[in-house]
Amino acid sequence: MDYQNFFRSALDTLRDEGNYRVFANLERHRGAFPSAACRGGPGEGEVTIWCSNDYLGMGQHPDVLAAMHSAIDASGAGAGGTRNISGTTHAHVELEAELADLHGKEAALLFTSGYVSNWAALGTLAGRIPGLTVLSDALNHASMIEGIRQSKADRMIWRHNDLADLEEKLASLPLDAPKLIAFESVYSMDGDIAPIAEICDLAERYNAMTYLDEVHAVGLYGPRGGGVAEREGLMDRITVIEGTLGKAFGVMGGYIAASTDLVDFVRSFASGFIFTTALPPAVAAGAAASVRHLKASTAERTAHQARVAEVRTRLDALGIPHIDNPSHIIPVMVGDPVKCKYISDLLLAEHGIYIQPINYPTVPKGTERLRITPSPVHSAEDVDRLVTALATLWAQCELARMPLAAQ
Ligand SMILES: *Cc1c(COP(=O)(O)O)cnc(C)c1O
């Protein structure tokens, strides 16, 4: 086999479909986020980032940076081992206590990322509970799907956010058979939110555990940033809450929060927890500072929601189509992979605006989009420049606008 030729032709197919991924080479400026220098390529120069998952700018927060600096000065760089073999530092222990408290759970367990936490926790729970069936929402994140897949447990995929379909599937199983309902609160591509209370009702009626990915909600919703389940007073009804420290908390890492026994079970059996080096203590200390700050301060959440509302209003005034949803994610719909990439390239090259195109397989073909994530650190001028650039490009690329009368 001509291996190189195989690689090249697979990549050529991606390019022809407009789905080839090009990474922007960015250098963020401390204290000036969302500004960054774009190094090389057609967008070379200063750009404003409009697609970051550092939703609140916490990756720049002075408390977070100070905690990381002082942890490095106090403890050095790496953890030096797996959690079991000398890698558990005081910073890890403190962060887990902070996270358990955030979600009102007995315990929490850290992983090296949100991806790993879903993959390892779901893989372990589904793989080791005899006869368990996982009921998985059709739009669950790849990390949940991979965890469920590798567990080899029976699985049923229910239609996205469809309670009737979920109930039908639950009712098809014996009442005493073990079941786990896996779903998210805020879905990151459409920005819609699951009916969590109703899913908990079904879980109780049919004897199922619940596993909720709050990755796009932690830090952002609820009085202390505990997520949508906190906002709706539902945390105690969820068996496992999973989150990331890499998005609104601005650092890195993932976790689950649950009962002492469940957490101890995953700690003791999850390969993806046991056989990998622990996060650097400075990362754990930075994440803990971020969680602590957002528990006490609502200013960032309030400013975030206001900025999101402002961008939506401005887009509506121009008739630029975006999915109406109850979250902070603004998906501007293009519906064509080549145009989506083209608009993104022009935004960067001509307007100094960086919004990564979201194409297949991240979203279904025909629903290609620009996923805009406003933050409290975007200024009014940033918003102006964004909507002006989008209006220009919408005219240039002959893209459909919403009929203004219909809004
Ligand atoms: C990003 C994401 C993850 C993974 O979290 P990381 O910390 O980035 O690995 C998990 N679930 C969802 C829904 C995500 O969007």
Across the chain, what does the average pLDDT equal? 95
* pLDDT surpasses 90 at 21: no
Taking the CA of residue 254 as reference, the ligand 1 atom at the shortest distance is 7
Residues framing ligand 1 (Cβ under 6 A): 113-115, 118, 141, 143, 184, 188, 213, 215-216, 244, 246, 254
How many residues in the chain? 407
Predicted local confidence at residue 397, as pLDDT? 80
pLDDT digits (tens, 9 = 90+) for 356-383: 999 888 899 999 999 999 999 999 999 9
pLDDT digits (tens, 9 = 90+) for 135-160: 999 999 999 999 999 999 999 999 99
Query: Rounded to the nearest whole angstrom, what is the distance from the C-alpha of residue 117 to the centroid of ligand 1?
Result: 9
Q: Whose CA is nearest to atom 7 of ligand 1?
A: 114
d(CA 107, CA 84) in angstroms, rounded, equals 17
Mean pLDDT of 377-405: 85
pLDDT digits (tens, 9 = 90+) for 298-337: 999 999 999 999 999 999 999 999 999 999 999 999 998 8
Query: Rounded to the nearest whole angstrom, what is the distance from the C-alpha of residue 183 to the centroid of ligand 1?
Result: 13
Query: Rounded to the nearest whole angstrom, what is the distance from the C-alpha of residue 113 to the centroid of ligand 1?
Result: 8
pLDDT band, residue 390 (cuts 50/70/90): very high
pLDDT band, residue 41 (cuts 50/70/90): confident
Q: Whose CA is nearest to atom 5 of ligand 1?
A: 114
pLDDT digits (tens, 9 = 90+) for 288-300: 999 999 999 999 9
Query: Rounded to the nearest whole angstrom, what is the distance from the C-alpha of residue 217 to the centroid of ligand 1?
Result: 11
pLDDT band, residue 74 (cuts 50/70/90): very high
Taking the CA of residue 53 as reference, the ligand 1 atom at the shortest distance is 1
Distance linking the first and last C-alpha atoms of the chain: 57
* pLDDT surpasses 80 at 218: yes
Q: Whose CA is nearest to atom 13 of ligand 1?
A: 141
* Residue 278: partners with Cβ closer than 8 Å, 6 or more residues away: 79, 81, 82, 83, 87, 88, 89, 92, 110, 112
Pocket test for ligand 1, best of 111, 115, 139 (most atoms within 8 A of CB): 115
Predicted local confidence at residue 108, as pLDDT? 99
pLDDT band, residue 402 (cuts 50/70/90): low
pLDDT band, residue 42 (cuts 50/70/90): confident
Taking the CA of residue 188 as reference, the ligand 1 atom at the shortest distance is 15
Query: Rounded to the nearest whole angstrom, what is the distance from the C-alpha of residue 169 to the centroid of ligand 1?
Result: 27
- Which has the higher per-residue pLDDT, 231 or 407? 231
Taking the CA of residue 187 as reference, the ligand 1 atom at the shortest distance is 13
- Which has the higher per-residue pLDDT, 326 or 15? 326
Query: Rounded to the nearest whole angstrom, what is the distance from the C-alpha of residue 172 to the centroid of ligand 1?
Result: 31
- The residue written with tokens 């297949």 in the block is 360
Mean pLDDT of 81-94: 97
Predicted local confidence at residue 310, as pLDDT? 97
Taking the CA of residue 252 as reference, the ligand 1 atom at the shortest distance is 7
Predicted local confidence at residue 20, as pLDDT? 87
Query: Rounded to the nearest whole angstrom, what is the distance from the C-alpha of residue 215 to the centroid of ligand 1?
Result: 6
Taking the CA of residue 253 as reference, the ligand 1 atom at the shortest distance is 7
Pocket test for ligand 1, best of 140, 141, 144, 186 (most atoms within 8 A of CB): 141
Q: Whose CA is nearest to atom 8 of ligand 1?
A: 114
Q: What is the 3-state secondary structure (H, E, C) of the chain?
A: CCHHHHHHHHHHHHHHCCCCCCCCCEEECCCCCCEEEECCCCCCEEEEECCCCCCCCHHHCHHHHHHHHHHHHHHCCCCCCEHHHHHCCHHHHHHHHHHHHHCCCCEEEEECCHHHHHHHHHHHHHHHCCCCEEEEECCCCHHHHHHHHHHCCEEEEECCCCHHHHHHHHHCCCCCCCEEEEEECECCCCCCECCHHHHHHHHHHCCEEEEEECCCCCCCCCCCCCCHHHHCCCHHHCCEEEEECCCCCCCCCEEEEECHHHHHHHHHHCHHHHCCECCCHHHHHHHHHHHHHHHHCCHHHHHHHHHHHHHHHHHHHHCCCECCCCCCCEEEECCCHHHHHHHHHHHHHHHCEECCEECCCCCCCCCCEEEECCCCCCCHHHHHHHHHHHHHHHHHCCCCCCCHHHC
In degrees rounded to 5, what are phi and psi of residue 7? -60, -45
pLDDT band, residue 396 (cuts 50/70/90): confident
pLDDT > 70: what percent of the chain? 98
169 a catalytic residue: no
Catalytic, out of 247, 339, 341, 365: 247
Query: Rounded to the nearest whole angstrom, what is the distance from the C-alpha of residue 1 to the centroid of ligand 1?
Result: 36
Q: Whose CA is nearest to atom 6 of ligand 1?
A: 114
Pocket test for ligand 1, best of 143, 188, 252 (most atoms within 8 A of CB): 143
- The residue written with tokens 């919703």 in the block is 221
Predicted local confidence at residue 403, as pLDDT? 60
pTM of the shown model: 0.96
Predicted local confidence at residue 22, as pLDDT? 86
* Spatial contact of 270 and 123, defined as CB atoms under 8 Å apart: yes
Predicted local confidence at residue 407, as pLDDT? 36
pLDDT band, residue 405 (cuts 50/70/90): very low
Predicted local confidence at residue 406, as pLDDT? 40
* pLDDT surpasses 60 at 404: no
